[in-house]
Structure 1
């Protein structure tokens, strides 16, 4: 049975996708697997972005006909679910939580950031609701265990994990955009001139004051750490 979304649903059926093994349609056994299809899609996204990931391109990469892929991933939405969980294996944590929840969450957040920078398509893929697959669940389980010392209830711990992941995804998206801007000096100069003009027009005094204050060192790691600390301060404050 295909693992896609039934009519009127909000995405692939998670029971079909994660709890039942992917089986090809009857006939000659194909020379590829769902894992190979997913790995090929991830490689395409890493190299060319999510727009490059089409069923036809993935079929070409694994040396198969497009129709033969549909038993494993009947649509791109299902393929994205598989891709997100596939790369989540890189987030595997073997050491148990230390008992210092702030330190543990900092470690997890930095791991997520490095992970998303390796796969720049991930922040966009995570903007829509995803049902966690087995690799994602393993990371979630570790994060929830790390949050145990906070005394938060289960629902609150899930909220903190979702907030942390959204923060990292948003920050990485900004980092990627800033890196692209750095490689376009004309665009960067135009943006600077625009902001200078806005700051001088008298209509935005708060912005003018903010832009006139000394800038912080442009160190991506330090900036991420500073923002993350503020997020964790909010968790601690309840």
Structure 2
């Protein structure tokens, strides 16, 4: 049986956290940038406690209108100020609940900027080393951020996406393109099985891409797929893949 960590972005106003949480093993909670506030963070953290799910912070560009999916022209100072403030909201709420938290995962355009762009990747590692040297960051394997974290000794968890199509260079198909998002159980199941058992994915342009992952992500705003999450997890088990629940 292959044991995996299945994570999901939550606390984003989709009203489906309670349906998702029993079926995943870690979650990334929006902390005020693209979505979320103190109340939603508290609610998501309490659900994570209830279902023994590892909780992490999910900061982003502060752009609610575009759900954090457009890159903003931030300076180093603006980046540090914003992500620090978002993490303070998250960590304060977790402390109020006397709850340990596990990791950090950037959201949307900030996720891709920190993974691939020299400036954002460097700023991220510097910020992590200063404030959260013991916390892992979820990001793309073989990315610039991955390399910089290895060099700095910063904990890193390689993440792949169950419900997103890939290009042969290892990047995700932009959401502006058709077929960027897998919305059916069949698509997601096929991709996850290939990733978990064979460390590879068939890209949109027909290549076989090697991807070695520590965690597998399903997006909480992928409404159609989330509805079928219990079915997906059951089918995973039938294919010798088990979601590993956290044991406190």
Q: TM-score range by the shorter chain?
A: under 0.3
Q: Structure with the greater relative contact order (CA < 8 A, sep ≥ 6): 1 or 2?
A: 2
CA radius of gyration, larger in = 1
Q: TM-score, normalised by structure 2?
A: 0.25
